[in-house]
Chains A and B, each alone.
Chain A
Amino acid sequence: MKNKNHITISDELIVKYLAGDAGPEEAEALHDWLSIPGNEIYFREFQNTWDTTLPAEKPSMMTTEAAWEIFSRGAVKQNPPSSGFSRTSLFKIAASILIVLTCGIAGYLFFSDQPSDVLVVVTTNEHAKTVHLPDSSVVVLHRRTSISYPENFGKQIREVTFSGEGYFRVQGNPDIPFVIHTSAADVRVVGTVFNVFAGNDRLDVSVEEGKVVLVSKTDSTLLQTGQAGSTRLGDPGIDVSDFIDINNWGYATNKFSFNDAPLTEVIRQFEKAFPYRIEIQNKDIKNCKLTATFDQVSAREILNLIGETLDLTVQENDSTFRIEGKGCPWDQ
């Protein structure tokens, strides 16, 4: 549970934060940690208890969107329009600039003549990225994934266009449904946690929590917690299964659970979640099976733990891990 500043998120730190004693680095580390979906639930338990001991104090925070409104108004008041931050110039700027954020993530603006048609696009290349939408929903984009949404997202509509794979945590709002458009079909949600894989002609949705409606051109179905739905372009129906594999979105949650899983499957999931390659020196290693749960552990620690469990050695070289050892020959 360490972050870039090597601050461990312990129970003591969580409480220290609630008590208002966390320094800026600690607070930042804690919020980074909180953006991994499962952690928030853990944090909330502490927070609820803390709040219970002084109920009158409960904070009521405004939405980010309302705050932005106030902010942009305030910025106008204190800034003459010529210096750039009025509502009108905001759209002009938006429509005249093409930002390219390099190093694996690109943000573009597309535009037509209507200001509300300004689109924000976030694309990932080789690294996952967390995107915070204006309505406080959060999406973790996996590698080679793209999401776009209108600049005024959240006011009357919540619609995104999406391709690739992403782990969504959608803020509840029954008045404005959240819609994900993909090339194969649409996903409609109210407020929930789920993973979406959107290929060119295929859409897979796994629901970790809450309810999701999958809508293709010819069919639609409700998916509930623990269900997965899948459809292909051109197929008339939608396949529903009662099995979801949380490892599929380990890239977003950093949680993995294996039950007597072949090591090849373990490796496949790790290579999906982490930017590493894993090589196996001996084919008998592939026969090994693993039962384990990992929560917020780094790839290096996980592989070392596996190595210890299965009596294998793990060597690290740049972005490749090499697993060596006797493995699990069939005759044993």
Chain B
Amino acid sequence: MIVRDSERAIMDAIREGNTLAFQQVFNANFQALCQYGFTILRDPDEAQDIVQAMFLKLWEKRNELDIKQSVRSYLFRAVYHQCMNHLEHRSVKEKHKVYHTYEKQTETQQPEIFPLELEDNITAAINGLPEQCRLIFMMSRYDEMRYAEIADKLKISINTVENQISKALKILRLKLKEI
């Protein structure tokens, strides 16, 4: 449904320094990129800072950029890479911390820690999930493990991780609706 014929024209206008064309691109993509960055970083402020920085880079480097696909695809890729960099920095910092609960927990494959503020009905619903489903969901949601890390840890395929987390969320959606 989204027409992209105008992509090249917009990029050309931006290269020529057209701020209104640039603002159109900003308006059309800002929220989506922030939301995307947030899913990776779990921190709205960091996500917004990264997205702002990517737009600034796009504006400053508008003459040098060789964007083969659309500006939108370029921005999604830029935000992704920047967020992944950010995560790496974070995990380096984490390693310097004295103690990390998750290491200990996952050795026995029992990541049992719910965040304190979670209501009982929600923890009950999660505990009611089929065992593998629950385990994988909690590793993703509360230990912030990436799909590949979970797959690696449990010696299962990424596909299985995808299916199980999706299954968990569908079950939870139904259960939490009843409450």
Contact = CB atoms under 8 A, between A and B. Distances in A.
Interface stretch (B88-96, B104-112, B141-149): B141-149
Interface stretch (A30-38, A189-197, A201-209): A30-38
Contacts of A136: 31
B60 to A, nearest CB: 7
Contacts of B30: 64, 67-68
Interface in A24-68: 24-25, 27-28, 31-32, 34-36, 45-46, 49-50, 52-57, 59-62, 64, 67-68
A176 interface: no
A147 interface: no
B73 A128 contact: no
A68 B23 contact: yes
Contacts of B38: 59, 61
Contact of B3 (A21, A118, A120, A129): A129
Interface string B135-174: 0000011101011000000000000001101100110110
A4 B172 CA distance: 32
Contacts of A67: 26, 30, 34, 48, 52
Query: Main SS of the interface on chain B?
Result: helix
Given A19-B141, A25-B76, A109 B20 contact: yes
Report the 5 A-B pairs with minimum CB-CB distance, sorted nearest first: A103-B5, A24-B76, A24-B80, A101-B9, A20-B39
Given A84-B19, A85-B59, A127-B5, 11 more contacts: A19-B165, A21-B146, A22-B36, A24-B79, A27-B32, A45-B173, A49-B173, A61-B35, A62-B48, A67-B48, A67-B52
Interface of A: 4, 11-12, 14-25, 27-28, 31-32, 34-36, 45-46, 49-50, 52-57, 59-62, 64, 67-68, 70-71, 74-75, 78-79, 84-85, 90, 93-94, 97, 99-105, 107, 109, 118, 120, 124, 127-130, 132-134, 136, 140, 151, 252, 254
Interface of B: 1-6, 8-10, 13, 17-21, 23-24, 26-28, 30-32, 34-36, 38-42, 44, 47-48, 52, 55-56, 59-60, 72-73, 76-77, 79-80, 115, 117-118, 122, 126, 140-142, 144, 146-147, 162-163, 165-166, 169-170, 172-173, 176
